[in-house]
Structure 1
Amino acid sequence: MRGFVLGGVSSGVGKTVATLSIVQALADAGYDVQPAKAGPDFIDPSHHEALAGRPSRTLDLWLCGEDGLRRNYHRGEGDVCVVEGVMGLYDGDGSSTAMVAEALDLPVVLVVDAKAGMESVAATALGFEQYAETIGRDVSVAGVVAQRAHGGRHERGIRDALPDGLEYFGRVPPNSALEIPDRHLGLEMGTEAALPTDALREAAESLAAERLADIAREPPAPAEPVDRPRDPVDATVAVADDAAFCFRYPATLERFRERADLVTFSPVAGDPVPDCDGVYLPGGYPELHAADLEASGTLTELGDRASEGLPVLGECGGLMAMSRSLTTADGDCHEMAGILPADVTMHDRYQALDHVELEARDGTVTAAAGETLRGHEFHYSSAAVDGDARFAFETVRGDGIDGEHDGLTEYESLGTYAHVHAASGAFDRFLESIAH
């Protein structure tokens, strides 16, 4: 599957809207499109999936490693893969957009905000192209998409100013309908605020879909075959799946289904905890649904089951739900599952944002003693833990729960602020730890 990367000149330049417009343009031109996201984000991929009708692939060197990155790419389906970048093209020391493009040997199409520039757009693009050589990165900038650019003289001025070797792939015109609402963790999810198809189709008409498809390249094959069979385990894993628990990577669910039986349930709706050998609570927005979670009874049942030995693995929002209480930014306190000896409080400003590395202190459900896991943390909450609380991990990089540790553990359960990818091996170990 051929692909290209959409890199921004900065955060907030409109990469997601440009990505969705290009996906629509390629689909309208008859291409079967596979979306993907550079970086560890969950929200932008939800918009990709809402439009493309298939999960967006997560491409992050820190989380997956180079071979895992290539494997995850090649698990996608379609004619053309459109990879949305993270932040600005060169931003980030763990897995920048440029690093992902280099590892996959894919060309970069630069998204430039053109609302107040013409020749300066060309100058910006030229600078981004030449900077790769300055820092020794093998990154090829093929051309630009002009975000918020008008037609006529504005468009001609941008196109004519581009030097040889940098192609003009079209524009995304200014349109208030092409604005995605945001909140504290970023944009609203694709299931909540999908962009209108007519507005995307209008933007798609100003994009050179065939030229974008022509520049796409096939990445190198991974060393480990994508379809290598993995040994099944005799286990059933229950995954929370609703508006409060919606941050999970497609590869995680794929691994669960590949090796075990998977069932889903909704704590917000009050579903009973399924008959299972282990529970996975992904991240999400439990703070937005705290009253419903408290009233539903599902978390109370989950706490009882965990105290009887049912393993529960929670990440970020899952950790929050596993705690004793959750206090929202409005000051309302709600009882949670009570599995972990912690009380969680929401804040107006984010408390941690980074790629992380964790070293297991003792054996736990996701890592053996001394093993390291790489992941990502981004949360607006903090957890006050009891003095005798037990931590599973030392933080080699990142903030974790208390600045030095992550992974609260109680009974057979574990809650972390870190999100990890299936390529880390953490979910394989979880499945093996709950198998009969």
Structure 2
Amino acid sequence: MKGFVLGGTHSGVGKTVATLAIIRALDEGGYAVQPAKAGPDFIDPSHHERVAGRPSRTLDLWLQGTEGLRRNYYRGSGDVCVVEGVMGLYDGDGSSTAMVAEALDLPVVLVVDAKAGMESVAATALGFRQFASHAGRDVEVAGIVAQRAHGGRHEEGIRDALPDDIAYLGRIPPQADLEIPDRHLGLHMGDESPLAPEVLDAAADHLRTDRLVDLARTPPRPAATPEQARTGKRIAVARDAAFRFCYPATVERLRERGEVVTFAPTAGDDLPACDGVYLPGGYPELHAETLAESPALRQLGAEAADGLPVLGECGGLMALTESLTTAEGVTHEMAGVLPAAVRMHDRYQGLDHVELRARRDTLTASAGTSIRGHEFHYSSAETASDARFAFDVVRGEGIDDQREGLSEHRTLGTYCHVHPESGAFDAFVDSL
């Protein structure tokens, strides 16, 4: 599967819209498109999946390492992989877009804001191409997509000013209906505020799919995935409007190791019979009133007290605590498993790649070992004085005073999202 990386000059330049238009254009051209996202984001991939009709792959060097990143790329399928970058092309010390492109040996298509420029758009692209050698990165900026560019003289001026070794691959017209609304944590999810198909079609008409396919390359093959024994364990995974942030590879890995059954706490589901529970991140703060009345959450509190292993990440952690206070100041009872009270804030409380070192054996790591992940949350947790923590924070904010992994009974709650390449989910299954 050939691919290319769609990088941006900066955050907010319109990479997601350009990615969706390119997916649409390639699909209309008869290509099977595998979307992917550089970085740990959950929201942009939901838009990719909406347009491409298949889950978007997460590609993050910090979370996965080079071999893990390549393995996750090759878990996808199709004719062309379109990898949307994160922030600006070179931004980020843990896993920048440039670092992902370099690890996969894929060319970069640069999204440049052309609203108020022509020759300067070409100068920007040339500068980004030349900066690679200055930064010590083996990255090829092979072409550009001009964001918010008009046709006619505007488009011609951009195209004619580009050097011969940087391809002009089309433009995204300046249209108000190409904007995706946002909120805390980022854009609305793909099924909440999707771009209209006719709007994407109009944007796709201005892209050069033939040239995009021609410049795509095939990444190096990864080493074989280490074999892990399949178990007969049954893992219940929460999947609904409140628990949405789950990497496709996580569910794939859990299914490779055991049986996965999903349930929807906000829909009134009961907790399924299971050997362990995984509560992913999401938006519990938007559904706190419903969760407070959820049969599954009440049952989860009782089962956890009896020793059922439960792993909660970010939103999952929030749902496992005693209470959740919304940004509007309304407090709702949660599952009551973990000794903490969570409160929402107007500004994010943690945003970074994370590294944790286990203080003792936990559901996701052995004592003394480290796992890597990512945190992005607008809530904070006030913990009880006798709260027990499973991890010390090597990098990141943690829950409290550089401590992470709030634990009680056989329940572990953390603000840290981890990828299965970390080994955390294998450890979780093996602990059941």
TM-score (norm 2): 0.99
**What displacement does 1:296 show?**
2.2
Alignment of 1:60 with 2:60, yes or no, is: yes
Aligned twin of 1:207:
207
CA-to-partner distance for each residue in 1:281-336, whole Å, 9 max, x for gaps?
A: 00000000000101223211110110011111000000000000000000000000
CA distance in 1, matches of 2:19, 2:296: 38
Deviates more, 1:321-330 or 1:160-169: 160-169
Stretches (4+) displaced over 6 A: none
**Which of the residues 313, 317, 326 maps onto 2:315?**
317
**What displacement does 1:184 show?**
0.4
**Which of the residues 248, 251, 257 maps onto 1:250?**
248
CA distance in 2, matches of 1:84, 1:379: 22
Indicate the RMSD between aligned Cα atoms, in angstroms.
Answer: 0.7
Aligned twin of 1:106:
106
CA distance in 1, matches of 2:31, 2:228: 32
Question: Structure 1: any 5+ residue segments left out of the alignment?
Answer: none
Alignment check: 8 A CA contact 2:271 2:295 kept = no
**What displacement does 1:405 show?**
0.7
**What displacement does 1:403 show?**
3.6
Alignment of 1:430 with 2:428, yes or no, is: yes
Aligned twin of 1:13:
13
CA-to-partner distance for each residue in 1:193-227, whole Å, 9 max, x for gaps?
A: 111110101111100011101110000000225xx
CA distance in 2, matches of 1:432, 1:51: 36
Query: Which structure 2 residues correspond to residues 19-418 of structure 1 after superposition, within 5 A?
Result: 19-225=19-225, 229-418=227-416
CA distance in 1, matches of 2:322, 2:268: 18
- Find the residue that maps to 2:361 and give its secondary structure: coil
- Find the residue that maps to 2:156 and give its secondary structure: helix
Letter of the 1:17 partner, please give it: V
Question: Structure 2: any 5+ residue segments left out of the alignment?
Answer: none
CA distance in 2, matches of 1:296, 1:392: 28
CA-to-partner distance for each residue in 1:36-78, whole Å, 9 max, x for gaps?
A: 0000000000000111111100000000000000000011000
CA-to-partner distance for each residue in 1:386-428, whole Å, 9 max, x for gaps?
A: 0100000000000010141110000001000000000000000
CA distance in 2, matches of 1:229, 1:33: 29
**What displacement does 1:80 show?**
0.2
Alignment check: 8 A CA contact 2:63 2:421 kept = yes
CA distance in 1, matches of 2:396, 2:20: 32
- Number of corresponding residues: 432
CA distance in 1, matches of 2:386, 2:252: 37
CA distance in 2, matches of 1:94, 1:31: 32
**What displacement does 1:229 show?**
4.6
CA-to-partner distance for each residue in 1:219-263, whole Å, 9 max, x for gaps?
A: 0000225xx653101200000000100001000000011110000
Letter of the 2:131 partner, please give it: Y
TM-score (norm 1): 0.98
CA distance in 1, matches of 2:180, 2:8: 17
Letter of the 1:347 partner, please give it: H
CA distance in 1, matches of 2:135, 2:242: 42
CA distance in 2, matches of 1:229, 1:358: 25
The percentage of aligned residue pairs carrying the same residue is 70
CA-to-partner distance for each residue in 1:347-400, whole Å, 9 max, x for gaps?
A: 000001000000000000000000100000000000000010000000000001
**What displacement does 1:135 show?**
1.3
CA distance in 1, matches of 2:152, 2:401: 54
Alignment check: 8 A CA contact 2:269 2:296 kept = yes
CA distance in 2, matches of 1:400, 1:194: 33
- Find the residue that maps to 1:231 and give its secondary structure: coil
CA distance in 2, matches of 1:388, 1:430: 25
